[in-house]
Amino acid sequence: MPDEPRELELKYRIDSEPDYLRIVDSLPAVPGREDSTLRNYYFDTQSYLLSRSQGMLRLRRGETVVLCFKKGGEREGTPGFFDVVEVEGEVREELLEEALARPDVLLREPHPAIRSVLKHYGQIELEPIGYLDTLRRCRQYEGHLLECDAVTYPDGSRAFEVEVETTRPEDARKALLRIFDGLGITASPQRHSKLQGLLRKGGILP
């Protein structure tokens, strides 16, 4: 849809927590961007219609509650570079508890993210499909803003990644590789979203 905003983001998976912490400890923080803890609740149909077609509907609780719809994935030929529709905005805090109890209330919410869901998928029946927690620390390097995420899954396992929003992925890639090489860090292009990681752990996605 031409009127939907897009998120362009280069993502790298960090192999270990010590490597992740080395990045966080070695780079300067971003003024005004404090560390944040985010709980992400995901919604889909019983057959995972959205997830199986690179879609995602999420309510995220941080300082506020944000409703977000995304659709898309890794751009072909550009490893780790995700080009996705992203429609999001704050909602009233009560919506989260309401949606966990009765997911159908989401589709009645007058919100741009829900309008996008309906345009892409029509009327569907939603249910909660899981959650995960993200600790986000923002750092800066050579003019790039790095979102350094530590993800905790419900089973207690963890994953680590660095994300850079950019329209010039190869410039951002060179900057990240300079960081990784300088710190002796093992990293590789991320090939799936956080939600896809959650569903892969549950055996729902390959």
Q: What is the mean pLDDT of each run of 10 residues along the chain (206 residues)?
A: 84 98 98 97 98 98 98 97 98 98 97 98 98 98 98 97 98 98 98 97 94
What is the DSSP code (8-state) at residue 110? -
pTM here is 0.96
Residues β-bridged to residue 86: 70
Q: What is the pLDDT of residue 43?
A: 98
d(CA 120, CA 26): 42
31's enclosing H/E stretch is none
Exposure string (b/e) for 44-81, b if CB count within 10 Å is 16 or more? bbeeeebbeebbbbbbbbeeebbbbbbbbbbeeeebbb
Q: What type of residue is 119? A: K
Q: What is the pLDDT of residue 68?
A: 98
